[in-house]
Structure formats: structure tokens, C-alpha cells
Structure 1
């Protein structure tokens, strides 16, 4: 049995973090009903960008919230749910007649999870934006990229998923625990600006001690250190080097045929020269040659794998980090002792009548 077995979650279908949060909750065993817009609902059906991966492990239920009978049945579902998650702009759910106050009147124990870019309050709350905008305002984006070029977006992992979806999941689960103790639910306001700012806590701490600068590519963990960055290899592929600790750096030097005297680790004024020297050495072999050379050592050198290559790596294969084969998809995480990785069920459509009966 999975940890969230018996927990009921209603997910109002959307794009970005709420879809990922619904997937995570379903992977952990929650019974998640994903409410989608019916084609006759007066608005276009959401683009199916999640497909079989982000929409897995839960039923989709098509509804028309402008239809009085559909809305009544949705409220019946809300009345017996543990949580609700939505990712619309502030005020949208209220205009649909499904705001937190209305839902709490039917179900005082309901945890109402809301994820947006700017949050439910503040001067920018009603404005549009995307991941890149939210992490720009939080200070996270400025730290990423090459020193002589504009900041580079880190996919949408920090705003949408790290600062948004995972903070939403954390808040919803915390509030469900509280609701089971007190009988009262909460509204969870997960803002991607807040969450991505929280993810930068380490760097604020380092900056307060004078150990981090605003200059990109000049710090220990942003590619500024020649022993914590990626290098191009002879075949145009890459290796990742993370030899932070002195003993790991010593193993790196041994594998490269260098001595500590000719390549001191923290001689910071000479880092540019060390960058150039390591670049030249790594360019003499193919990526997989370097991977084999450092396999089993403490040098913290790994190949940089593509999305296509990653599932076949022996470590990932042994742990069943990916499941399925058409195409393979990341398995649920984290793992729980005694619960081996299993195939992930696909999402399946369910009628609103059947969903209401299932939760009756």
C-alpha cells in the first residue's frame, strides 16, 4: 500500500505546476480526480501537453462548470475530498463559484491548494507570467549562465516544479495532517516567486558570509570553480565534474595525470588558467573513455547523458529509475523501503457520474 492511500484529491486541470503536483500526489498513492474541461464547456479543451507521463496514475473527469448539474456533482466531490489543487490566476475559481469560502462551507476539513506565479496577493498577483519571469523576480535567474552573457533559463525546473509544484505538494500534505488533527482545513498559497526564493537560501547564507558574489561564473557552484563544472570531450559530448572536497579533487588530479603542486585547488587567481588546462585535457578523449577511466573512483566525474541515453545507464536500469518502453518515463520518487518500483498506471477517463459514485 502506498503512503497516501485513502487520501482524496481533486485536481483542476491546468498547465505547469498543478499538473506535476497532481502526478506526484497520485504516484504516492492518493486517489486524484483530474477535472478537465468538457469540449462543450464553452472554452477550448486544455492542450494535452502532459500526455501519458504528467497525466498518469489518475482518472480524468470531463466537466462543464457552467452546467448547474455538473457543478452540483463537483461540489459533492469536494464535500468528501481531503484536498483540492488549482493553478488558475487569482479570482478565477471564485468567479466559477468554487472559491475557498464556498468549498469550506461544504467541507470544513478541505485543504485548498493554490499555485500561481506571483501568489494570491501583492502588486503583481493579477499579472500574467511564466517560470522565467517568476525566478527573475526572486533573484534565482540572475545567478545562472555564463559570466559574459545574459542569464540562461534553467528549463522550467526551478519556478514551475521546484518552487511551485513541490511547495504546493508540501503545503497540501502538511495541511491535510493538520486537518485530520483539528478538523479544519487551510488555504495553501504556493507562489513560484516565494518558492524559488526559498530554494536560494544557501546562496543568501553564503553571500552573507562574503562567500558568494553576484558575478555569474565566479563562484564555487556556478561553474566558476574549475573542479565543479562540465567539460567538452573529443567527441563533442560532455562530462560533469564535482570534485569539491580535497580528497575528491586529489582523485580527479590522479585520473588526469596532474599533481597538487601544478594544480592547487583554491589558488583562485589562477583558476582561469586551470580552467584552460582541464579543458585541454578533457578534449583529448571521448566522453565514454573518461567515464570508464573514472568509474569507481572518488573523483566525482560522470558522463552528461541525453534524455535518450539516461534510461539505459546501468545504474538507472538497476534502480528502475525509468519504467515502460513506449516511451520510458521517470518512475515515481522517492522510494519507500519494501516497495519495489512497479509499472505506472496510465490515466483513464471517468464519467462525472461514475466519479461521484466512486467517492460516495
Structure 2
């Protein structure tokens, strides 16, 4: 199997590259850019490398099954850039549904996500909110007692998108009034998608992961176990 940046064919096959290059050529950096039009690739993870590795694994498993049935092997050609472009498929569909928008307009369209983002609580700690769909939005309005947003107009997703900045401002002001633990407890009771923003140390002691026996230690420090679990 060959796992390379641009694959065994094509005009870029001999060119070296890093994650940032594959994100750029596959269109990810452009849609991840800021409102001023500058591209961005600040995920904190080597997403392109991970995409290539996942497709390489899938291809190898498929080839092993084929060999078991036919006795024939094959040379697999996996390109990291190709893999990341494949992961762009959901955004390709969105682009087809918005042909009139230019690149900047399409990026703003993708990032107009009312009720969705990171917010700082009054204690200075951050939480992540995912009240994107209307049922979650309605629960969010109840949980935060946002009377100004409790109107039929705000129950329309398109209307919320048009007023995304206004909604974000209201949420920032509301979350600043209490500690994060208060908001997480209240949002969870109203069944609103939310989570604490952990740093790496916090993630390793997160109760959810501990309860699933995901964190191990071989004596040299913590490790994350394989995430798939067998259930009876």
C-alpha cells in the first residue's frame, strides 16, 4: 500500500506537503476562514493525516477480505489530499444548494449557526452549545429564559440564521451571568446539547470517558484506549 500526500498519479504526485497544504487544495481552509476572508486551518489536530490513515485502514481491510475470497492481492494507492476532499462531501452538497453565493458568501452561510458555538460563563470558563435545530432551540429559550426570543419568528431556522449575530450577543450576555456549572446543569436538565470546554488534562479526567474505561495507563502516562466497545 502507498499512502502519500497526492497519490501515485497526477501532476502533484512528486510534491511534498503537510496538512495545511492538503486542507488548502481540498477546499477546507477556505470554508474554515474568518469573516475577513483569510483562510484558516486551526483545528489543533492533523485532520488531513488522520483522514488519510482512516481511508488507508479501510482500504487495507477491504483488500484483505478480497484476498481471502480470491487469493489475489493488490497495490492500494491512497492520497491524503484525496481523503480530505472525500470528507468535504457534506459541504459539496451545501455548495450545490447555494450556487449564487461567492466564496466569501458561502463561508458566511456555513458559519451562520445560531445557538451554536462557544460561550464564556461568568466564572471565566467556557462551554460549548449545540442548539442548532428548532426543537433544541425552543428548549434553549426555556432553559435560559430568553423571553425576547420566545416568538414564532425565532422558531424558523432561516430567521435565526439571519439574526445569528444578534442571537450570539444575547447568549454571551446571558451566560456571563452565572458560573459554567450552573449553566451545564440547567441545560442538561432541559435536554439541550452542551458540554464543558476541556483542555487536554481535563479531557483525561472527564467522568464520561472514565466511566467508559477509555483512559488507561501503562506506567508512562495516560493513554486513550481503542474507542469501539463490544456490547452483549
Instruction: Settle same-fold status: TM greater than 0.5.
Output: yes
SS of match in other structure, 1:244: coil
Counterpart in the other structure of 1:155: 44
Q: How far 1:310 sits from its partner (Å)? A: 1.1
State the alpha-carbon separation in 1 of the partners of residues 184 and 109 from structure 2: 26
SS of match in other structure, 1:230: strand
Q: How far 1:262 sits from its partner (Å)? A: 8.6
**What is the count of residue pairs matched by the alignment?**
223
Counterpart in the other structure of 2:154: 264
State the alpha-carbon separation in 1 of the partners of residues 204 and 53 from structure 2: 24
1:59-95 Cα distance to aligned partner (Å, 9 max, x none): xxxxxxxxxxxxxxxxxxxxxxxxxxxxxxxxxxxxx
State the alpha-carbon separation in 1 of the partners of residues 63 and 228 from structure 2: 20
Q: Does 1:124 align with 2:12?
A: yes
Distance 1:262-1:274 versus aligned 2 partners, 3 A rule: farther
1:159-190 Cα distance to aligned partner (Å, 9 max, x none): 0002x100100011011101111111111111
Q: Does 1:239 align with 2:132?
A: no
Counterpart in the other structure of 2:187: 294
Counterpart in the other structure of 1:209: 97
Residues 100-249 of structure 1 aligned to structure 2 (within 5 Å): 113-148=1-36, 150-153=38-41, 154-162=43-51, 164-210=52-98, 214-215=103-104, 218-220=108-110, 222=111, 224-249=112-137
Q: How far 1:326 sits from its partner (Å)? A: 4.5
Q: Does 1:314 align with 2:207?
A: yes
Contact map agreement 2:114 2:132 (CA 8 A) in 1: no
Q: How far 1:335 sits from its partner (Å)? A: 2.0
Tell me the C-alpha RMSD between the 2 structures.
2.3
1:279-319 Cα distance to aligned partner (Å, 9 max, x none): 11122223233222223432111111111001222211111
Q: How far 1:270 sits from its partner (Å)? A: 2.1
SS of match in other structure, 1:177: helix
State the alpha-carbon separation in 1 of the partners of residues 189 and 210 from structure 2: 17
Q: TM-score, normalised by structure 2?
A: 0.86
Report which of the two structures shows the higher radius of gyration computed on alpha carbons: 1
Identify unmatched segments of 5+ residues in structure 2.
Answer: none
Runs (4+) of structure 1 exceeding 6 A deviation are: none
Q: Does 1:336 align with 2:230?
A: yes
Contact map agreement 2:119 2:127 (CA 8 A) in 1: yes
- Which structure: greater helix fraction? 2
Contact map agreement 1:159 1:196 (CA 8 A) in 2: yes
Distance 1:212-1:280 versus aligned 2 partners, 3 A rule: farther
Contact map agreement 2:26 2:85 (CA 8 A) in 1: yes
State the alpha-carbon separation in 2 of the partners of residues 211 and 329 from structure 1: 45
